[in-house]
Structure 1
Amino acid sequence: MAAAATAKLQEQFDAGLTTRPDFTIDQPLERYGAVDHAVWEQLYRRQMALLEGRACEAFIEGAQRIGLNVAHVPIFDAVSERLMAATGWRIVAVPGLVPERIFFEHLAHRRFPVTWWMRRPDQLDYLQEPDCFHDLFGHVPLLTDPVFADAIHAYGRAALAVDECALPLLARLYWYTVEFGLIRDTSGEASAPQGVKIYGAGIVSSKGESLYSVESAAPNRLAFDLERVLRTRYRIDTFQKTYFVIDSFAQLFDALGAGIAARLAHPAPLIAAAPYAAGDVLHSDTIYTRGTREGWLDDGDV
Structure 2
Amino acid sequence: MANDTLARPACAADDWTVPQEWDRYGADEHAMWDRLFERQARLLPGRVAPAFIDGLDVLRLSKPGIPDFAELNARLMDATGWQVVAVPGLVPDDVFFDHLANRRFVAGRFIRKPDQIDYLEEPDIFHDVFGHVPLLANPVFADYMAAYGRGGQRAAGLGAIERLARLYWYTVEFGLMRGPEGLQIYGAGIVSSFSETLFALDDPSPNRIGFDLKRLMRTNYRIDDFQQSYFVIDSFEDLLRQTIETDFAPLYAELHGTPDLAVDAIEPDDRIYHRGTQHYARSRPSQTGNPHHEP
Shorter-chain TM-score range: over 0.9
Q: Which moved more, 1:49-58 or 1:292-301?
A: 292-301
The answer to whether the Cα contact below 8 Å between 1:45 and 1:70 also exists between their aligned partners in 2 is no
Shift of 1:266: 6.0
Distance 2:200 2:151 in 1: 29
Q: Secondary structure at the match of 2:223?
A: coil
1:202 corresponding residue in structure 2? 189
**Partners of 2:5 and 2:35 in 1: CA distance:** 29
The answer as to 2:165 corresponding to 1:165 is no
Identity percentage over the alignment? 48
| Aligned ranges 1:132-147 → 2 under 5 Å | 132-147=125-140
The answer on whether the counterparts of 1:59 and 1:141 sit within 8 Å (CA) in structure 2 is yes
Q: Which amino acid in the other structure matches residue 3 of structure 1?
A: N
Question: Does residue 179 in structure 1 map to residue 166 in structure 2?
Answer: no
Asked if the contact 2:18/2:86 (under 8 Å) is kept, the reply is yes
Q: Is the 8 A contact 1:155 1:257 kept in 2?
A: no
CA positional deviation for 1:269? 3.0
Residue identity opposite 1:209 in structure 2: E
Aligned with residue 226 of structure 1, among 196, 208, 213: 213
**1:267 counterpart = 2:252:** yes
Please, which runs of 5 or more residues in structure 1 have no aligned partner?
189-194
Cα deviation digits, residues 154-211 of structure 1 (max 9, x gap) = 111121112352111011110000000000012x4xxxxxx10000000000011000
Q: Name the SS for the 2:119 alignment partner.
A: coil
TM-score norm. by structure 1 comes to: 0.90
Alignment of 1:30-179 (within 5 A): 30-162=23-155, 163=157, 165-179=159-173
* Aligned match for 1:301, one of 288, 292, 295: 288
Does the aligned pair in 2 maintain the 1:118–1:132 contact within 8 Å?
A: yes
Cα distance per residue 1:253-278 (max 9 Å; x no partner): 1233332xx13356233131101001
**Cα contact 2:214–2:251 (8 A) shared by 1:** no
- State the Cα deviation string for residues 208-254 of structure 1 (Å, max 9, x = none): 10000000111000000000000000001110000000000012112
Cα deviation 1:139-164 (Å, max 9, x = unaligned): 00001111111111111112111235
Task: Report the equivalent of 1:191.
Answer: none
- Of the three residues 250, 253, 265, the one matched with 1:280 is 265
Shift of 1:5: 5.6
1:100-122: CA deviation from partner (whole Å, max 9, x where unpaired): 11110001111111111111111
CA distance in 2, matches of 1:299, 1:226: 25
User: 4+ runs of 1 displaced by more than 6 Å?
Assistant: none
Supply the AA of the counterpart residue of 2:176.
L
**2:292 matched to which residue of 1?**
none
- Secondary structure at 1:40 match in 2: helix
CA RMSD of aligned residues (A): 1.7
Q: Distance in 2 between matches of 1:164 and 1:28?
A: 38
Query: What's the CA shift for 1:52?
Result: 1.1
- Deviation by residue 1:56-86 (Cα, 9 ceiling, x = unmatched): 1000110111111442110001111101101
- How many angstroms apart in 2 are the aligned matches of 1:97 and 1:120? 18
Q: Is contact 1:222–1:242 with CA below 8 Å preserved after alignment?
A: yes
Say whether the 8 Å CA contact 1:138–1:205 is kept in structure 2: yes
Contact 1:105/1:157 (8 A) holds in 2 = yes
| Contact 2:158–2:249 (8 Å) recurs in 1 | no
Q: TM-score, normalised on structure 2? A: 0.93
How many correspondences in the alignment? 286
Q: Give the alignment partner of residue 21 of structure 1, picking from 14, 34, 41.
A: 14
Contact 2:175 2:185 in 1 (8 A): yes
Contact (CA 8 Å) 2:177, 2:185: kept in 1 or not? Answer: yes
Code of the aligned partner of 1:232: T
Structure 2 stretches lacking a partner, 5+ long: 290-295
Distance in 2, Cα, partners of 1:37 & 1:268: 48
Q: Distance in 2 between matches of 1:228 and 1:5?
A: 28
Alpha carbons 1:5, 1:97 under 8 Å: kept: no
